[in-house]
Structure 1
Amino acid sequence: MSNKFNIFYGDHPSQFGVLRLPESSEQSPVIVLIHGGFWQSKYNLEENTSIAEDLTRRGYATWNIEYRRIGEELEGWKSIFNDVVDAINHLSIIKESYHIDLSNVIVMGHSAGGHLALWVASRINTSKTDDVFNELAIPIQKVLSLAGVTDLKKMWEIHEQKGIKSPVAALLGGAPKEVPNRYKITSPIELLPFDVEQVLIHGELDRHVPVELSKKYYQSALEKGDKVKLVVLPDIEHFKVIDPTSSAWDIVVESI
């Protein structure tokens, strides 16, 4: 019997996830994986396949989620955010059939997926919930941001300075001055504290998402009393943190 299942949580071709179950017959804790690629459709969940397989071998159920991305048909700027919530909520619909334990859900995201992982964890804090986005119905015990985009405004500024058309503006439908409130309700650094355990892992040599973003976020989370840990890895670049053959990956596994 295969331990890998493609499961749709919505009608759009990108509204699905790949559930992998470990060999053990006991109820497994679940790790939700959110891939990066600056929210763009040319990148997909295959980025997380090798770490999903590795974690499943270690006894975790993994739910590697896809979501509608920039370049696909979206129903407005909230689609990407709501897809992530819906994908996680879908676990409660499939938990009986697949025998998974939802009392211990960890969310882990890389790069733009790190942004989405932190953002979705902030939805646990009821003072942050609103009627803008779909409601998160599953408790998250811990969130891991691997080279995550913790500050959308800062990321937009970095792209502007480099003369890059920022995917952050494409994600939110405008620059910070044009849609300030959207940045406020979707940028993790603006949403602290979460009251969820957070681990930030970032390589010193990251050229895509500078390590400064995680450092600044860490300071802010500490000041606001959140339970947060920062691991800065020397000699590690952006993609090494999701490479199961790298030393960085051992650190990630330990942090879980």
Structure 2
Amino acid sequence: MTDPTAFDNAPFIPDGAAYPDRWAEAAREYRSLETALGRARLNVSYGEHPSEKYDLFYPQSAKPEGTLIYIHGGFWRAFSRADWSHFAAGATACGWAVAMPSYPLCPEVTVSDITRSLARAISAIALKTSGKIALTGHSAGGHLALRMLDPALDIGTARDRLTRCLPISPLTDLAPLREVPLNDTLQLTETEAKSESPVHQPAPLIPVHVLVGAAERPSFIAQANALPWDVPVTEAPELHHFNVIDFLLEADHPFTAWLTSEGAEPPNWPNPSA
């Protein structure tokens, strides 16, 4: 039986409950500044649901070198694109545009519905951008980033433009989530948990590198290491579930470089659980 707290994060992180408010405030400030500078296109619709919108942040350069799509987490039940805007700073400083989609949340919709919604978002973003597309996402967003690599999903012209995928603390096997209180909201069935688990997908056709904090809950470290494909996993020393994404603020971080430059390599940190 899975520990009912196995996927809880805030109670196990110092000052964990304060992170969402800090993210939201930083995101508001970033959106305000980028809008004033004319580098933000906000609330672009990609579907009929009110949450099916994305924000697009541009670099200073006239023509972006590519587009990084960041998919937010929140266990498919919380947050929106507007809570994470400032995490576009690193990639835009590297000359890339950054798109951040929202999506409908559980329990109004299912995880399968969210996957299909994100596929529409990726397809729509591809139609509004040019050049390379890289994917990243955190936690449930890491799950969704990996799901976009499934060749059975229709993501339009984005498929041929994908260059790299960096799932951060991703949920890769949803079966254990059926045994924790979270499933009261998700309502995952055995069939959906299997069909929506990246561990059951074909091996990806583009480079994938998994990042997880070495100080995260054991369940998240196990999830990060569960993919059956031959992909590297980095367990970042001392980082937990809430600060493992902070590198996205930095243009000169090796993982930002890996996403935005095909010649770059990620850090070669030893994994404590290896």
> What band does the TM-score fall into relative to the shorter chain?
0.7 to 0.9
Which residue type is aligned with residue 212 of structure 2?
H
What does residue 155 of structure 2 align with? Answer: 136
Deviation at 1:252, TM superposition (A): 2.5
What does residue 225 of structure 1 align with? Answer: none
Residues in 1 aligned to 2:119 and 2:248: alpha-carbon distance in whole angstroms: 30
Q: CA offsets, 1:47-66, max 9 Å, x none?
A: 42121133212211101110
- 2:66 corresponds to 1:29: yes
Overall identity of the aligned pairs, in %: 23
Of 189, 195, 212, 2:222 maps to 212
Question: Equivalences for 1:100-119 in 2 at 5 Å?
Answer: 100-101=130-131, 104-119=132-147
- Asked if 2 retains the 8 angstrom alpha-carbon contact of 1:184 and 1:191, the reply is no
Residues in 2 aligned to 1:148 and 1:49: alpha-carbon distance in whole angstroms: 20
**Secondary structure, counterpart of 1:67 in structure 2:** coil
Q: TM-score, normalised by structure 2?
A: 0.72
Deviation at 1:136, TM superposition (A): 1.7
Deviation at 1:142, TM superposition (A): 1.4
- Asked if 2 retains the 8 angstrom alpha-carbon contact of 1:34 and 1:64, the reply is yes
What does residue 236 of structure 1 align with? Answer: 239
1:81–1:148 distance in 2 versus 1, CA, 3 Å: same
- Asked if 2 retains the 8 angstrom alpha-carbon contact of 1:149 and 1:209, the reply is no
How many residue pairs are counted as aligned between the two chains?
218
What does residue 4 of structure 2 align with? Answer: none
1:18–1:209 distance in 2 versus 1, CA, 3 Å: farther
Q: CA offsets, 1:159-203, max 9 Å, x none?
A: x3xxx4124x744x4342xxx2x2332100111312221110001
1:117–1:14 distance in 2 versus 1, CA, 3 Å: same
What does residue 29 of structure 2 align with? Answer: none
Which residue type is aligned with residue 102 of structure 2?
E
- Asked if 2 retains the 8 angstrom alpha-carbon contact of 1:14 and 1:66, the reply is yes
- Asked if 2 retains the 8 angstrom alpha-carbon contact of 1:148 and 1:209, the reply is no
Residues in 2 aligned to 1:18 and 1:208: alpha-carbon distance in whole angstroms: 33
What does residue 253 of structure 1 align with? Answer: 256
Question: Equivalences for 1:146-185 in 2 at 5 Å?
Answer: 146-154=168-176, 156=177, 160=179, 164-167=180-183, 170-171=185-186, 173-176=187-190, 180=191, 182-185=192-195
- 2:79 corresponds to 1:43: yes
1:251–1:93 distance in 2 versus 1, CA, 3 Å: closer
For structure 1, the 5+ residue unaligned runs are: 124-128, 223-227
- Asked if 2 retains the 8 angstrom alpha-carbon contact of 1:44 and 1:66, the reply is yes
- Asked if 1 retains the 8 angstrom alpha-carbon contact of 2:65 and 2:97, the reply is yes
Of structures 1 and 2, the one scoring higher in RCO (CA 8 A, sep 6+) is 2
- Asked if 1 retains the 8 angstrom alpha-carbon contact of 2:107 and 2:185, the reply is no
Residues in 1 aligned to 2:48 and 2:219: alpha-carbon distance in whole angstroms: 32
**After alignment, is 7-16 or 112-121 more displaced?**
7-16
What's the Cα RMSD here?
A: 2.4
Deviation at 1:250, TM superposition (A): 2.5
Q: CA offsets, 1:99-156, max 9 Å, x none?
A: x32xx11110100000000011123xxxxx1xxx6x22112221110111111113x1
**Secondary structure, counterpart of 2:209 in structure 1:** strand
